[in-house]
Structure 1
Amino acid sequence: MTDNMMTALGLDRPETGDDAVVPFTLDQLDTRGRAVRFGDALDTILSRHDYPALVARLLGEAVALAALIGSSLKFEGRFILQTQTDGPVNLIVVDFDAPDGLRGYARFDQDALVAAAEAGRTTPGELLGKGHLAMTIDQGEHTERYQGIVALDGNSLEEVAHTYFVQSEQIPTMVRLTVAEFTRKGDERPHWRAGGVLIQHLPDHGESVVRDLPGDGDLDNSDKEEADSWTQAKALLATLEDVELADPDLSPERLLFRLYHETGVRVFPPLPMVERCTCSADRIEDMLATSFTDADRDEMAVDGEIEVVCEFCSTAYHFSPHHFSIKH
């Protein structure tokens, strides 16, 4: 990156690599945003279960979206993104453990997935089908959970995110997501990568731009300038190609400069993201002890032990149904 580019970005550090979220602002456009780039962390999540490519891409988009949203929360706790639908990919769960941990899981109907592929119904919206997407914020045992729900009706995750923020937060939002496979030199196995950008319009006076767009009533000059700034921010993001979002040779800083150098963009230090499962033997043992009776645990046992396999990381835990002694 040239000195002029670094100055324009306010960058006095090395460019960001994979597995990180980069916050940024577009001050002239009254817009803030975050860019995410995933490499090894996402590849670990997707490769662990050997998902079909269509499922892996959809789960990868959900992981990128959860990182973009969860990384903005200023607390210790969890952000959970979950879809439940009637499509071939009928369940997706992504768990963001603040400030940096991510894990994800997808459930799908193999026969329905094959039928959809043969019929050419492979867009994210068609794979998800109808149902809902829930976003849950959990700040711990002594606080109430907050949950926002938006309908899924043949929509992509990008489209649903737009709807969620306008309806639940009254913040105009635009999201771009992509997932791709890249082959490294000297490595025969392709590796999963993902990229995403989220922008939100936040004018200083806090008024919503949605109701003031042309066609929705009379505008004075200041409102027109505000609406035009959001329109420009979205139009520039729309020029971004999928290959740019996931390109391992294009840092988030270079990507943002390419998009917004004419209006100005200011980036902030990156927020590292890691693949991390929060399962543990102690948690599972506590769940077995408090949620099930002795009779229930006896029924769960096979050959004298209870096996519990984490759906996220596939770790298998083994317990005695009577003494709860853990067998490693």
Structure 2
Amino acid sequence: MSHNQRDMLQRFSFDNTDIRGEIALLDSAYREVIKRHSYPQLIARELGELMAATALLSANLKFPGRLTLQVRMPGNVSLLQAETNDKGQLRAIARYDELAGDEQLSFADGQMVITIEPEQGQRYQGITAVSGGNIAQALEDYFEQSEQLGSRFWLFCNGQQAAGMMLQKMPAMATDDADAWDRIGHLASTAREDEILGLPADDMLHRLFHEEQARIYPASELSFFCTCSKDRIANALHQLGYEELDTMLQEQAGKIDITCEFCQQNYTFDRPQVDAIFPERKLH
């Protein structure tokens, strides 16, 4: 099976109902993230679930821009973050106490922050509580409270692959099928981790919903991609100011080394390159 089939977002809906859904499958896109960091298993799995959730939400990006899901917690795991753009390009990171033993790591109750940043227009941010690292429940609560949309999420990760499924009840649509939401939600709940991680999306949909009139739409690709670049790092350095960078160059043998925390790509700036970040100084 080509990786394209395994890194994909599959939309579907049910005829004569107000229900739509999505399945996100992450294979190499997820492994590209975890191979760059030696995350403990607990964190690697949770990060996979967060990436799958982010991929599911990316269907809401109808414009060029970026969507970020952050789980912020007190305790020895302080941050889980996944982000995607409108092209389905994902990256993710975790921050945790690396001195704590794997057995001591746990997810405290905290906050989930959803940020949508269109290239043009207003930035949007929503916040909801997350308890014990339960991302699916936090998202269901968020859509219920903030969007008044009935939503169900199922998230899976085995440390090598990740997957997610979402059902949403669309507002203001008249339907004769009053118990469709409960019935289809019950069918979706029978999804097993080994199946959703192992089967193509259309096989999974057939297994779950073969008694329903499901309509499957063209799938879109998901991939790992980091948005870091030398220019972006240079812009960040510029914010620090010349004096600060001058001191760093003196302390670090004439070179400033920066590593992107998402993809571990290393960027080096020597004095001529630092001078080039501040063209305005040449005017004096």
The TM-score normalised by the length of structure 1 is: 0.78
> Is 1:261 aligned to residue 240 of structure 2?
no
Query: Is the aligned partner of 1:74 residue 2:62?
Result: yes
- Check conservation: 2:89, 2:222, Cα contact below 8 A: yes
Q: Partner residue of 1:297?
A: 245
Is 1:307 the equivalent of 2:253? no
Give yes or no for contact 1:174–1:198 (8 Å, CA) kept in 2. Answer: yes
| Structure 2 residue 109 is the aligned partner of structure 1 residue 130 | yes
Q: 1:120 matched to which residue of 2?
A: none
Instruction: Return the match for 1:240 from 185, 191, 194.
Output: 191
Root mean square deviation, CA, Å: 2.1
- Measured against aligned partners, the alpha-carbon deviations of 1:29-54 in whole angstroms (never above 9, x if no partner) come to 42101101111111111111121111
Superposed CA deviations along residues 174-195 of structure 1, whole A, max 9, x for unmatched, are: 01111114xxxxxxxxxx1111
Aligned to 1:288: 237
Shift of 1:167: 1.0
- Pick aligned residue for 1:195 from 127, 148, 163: 163
Task: Please state whether the residue corresponding to 2:93 is helix, strand or coil.
Answer: strand
From the superposition, tell whether residues 168 and 321 of structure 1 become closer, same or farther in structure 2 (CA, over 3 Å): farther
Separation in 2, partners of 1:55, 1:296:
35
| In structure 2, distance between residues paired with 1:325 and 1:57 | 43
3-state SS in 2 of match to 1:58 = helix
Tell me, in whole angstroms, the C-alpha distance in 2 between the residues paired with 1:17 and 1:138. Answer: 28
CA contact (8 A) 1:29 1:233 kept: no
SS in 2 for 1:133: strand
1:318 paired residue number: 268
Secondary structure of the structure 1 residue equivalent to 2:212? coil
CA contact (8 A) 1:31 1:203 kept: no
Does 32-41 or 295-304 show the bigger shift?
295-304
The offset of 1:112, in angstroms, is 4.1
User: Does residue 11 of structure 2 align to residue 23 of structure 1?
Assistant: yes
Q: Distance in 2 between the 1:130 and 1:258 partners? A: 35
Q: Provide, for residues 212-251 of structure 1, a one-character-per-residue CA deviation record: whole Å limited to 9, x for no partner.
A: xxxxxxxxxx79x53x21111111111111111111xx11
Q: Is the 8 A contact 1:89 1:113 kept in 2?
A: no
CA distance in structure 2 between the partners assigned to 1:71 and 1:321 by the alignment:
44
Residues in 2 aligned to 1:73 and 1:325: alpha-carbon distance in whole angstroms: 39
**Equivalent pair of 1:88/1:113 in contact (CA under 8 Å):** no
* Alpha-carbon offset, residue 325 of structure 1: 6.8
* Cα distance, 1:52–1:115 mapped onto 2, change above 3 Å: closer
Shift of 1:200: 0.3
Residue 128 of structure 1: CA displacement? Answer: 2.4
- How far apart in 1 are the matches of 2:74 and 2:191? 31
Q: CA offset at residue 162 of structure 1? A: 0.5
Whether 2:134 is the aligned partner of 1:156: answer: yes
Preserved contact between residue 38 and residue 194 of structure 1 (Cα < 8 Å): yes
Query: Quick one: distance in 2 between partners of 1:230 and 1:31?
Result: 7
1:105-124 equivalences in 2 (<5 Å): 105-112=93-100, 114-116=102-104
CA distance in 2 between counterparts of 1:252 and 1:204 reads 28
TM-score by length of 2: 0.89
Change (3 A) 1:153 1:321: farther
- Shift of residue 25 of structure 1? 0.3
Whole-Å separation in 2 of the counterparts to 1:199 and 1:58:
21
**One of 12, 37, 42 as aligned partner of 1:54:** 42
Find the residue that maps to 1:254 and give its secondary structure.
helix
Distance, in Å, in 1 between the alignment partners of 2:270 and 2:20 is 52
Letter paired with 1:202: M
Partners of 1:235 and 1:149 in 2: how far apart? 28
Shift of 1:27: 2.2
**What secondary structure, in the 3-state scheme, does the structure 1 residue paired with 2:144 have?**
helix
For the residues of structure 1 that align with 2:140 and 2:67, how far apart are their CA atoms?
18
1:128 is paired with a residue whose SS is coil
SS of match in other structure, 2:205: helix
1:278 pairs with one of 217, 227, 246:
227
Percent identity over paired residues: 33
The answer (yes or no) to whether the contact 2:10–2:22 under 8 Å persists in 1 is yes
Flag structure 1 segments of 5+ consecutive residues without an equivalent: 1-13, 118-126, 182-191, 207-221
Distance 1:166 1:113 in 2: 37
Q: Is the 8 A contact 2:139 2:153 kept in 1?
A: yes
Q: Following TM superposition, by how much is the alpha carbon of 1:269 offset from its aligned partner in structure 2, in angstroms?
A: 0.6
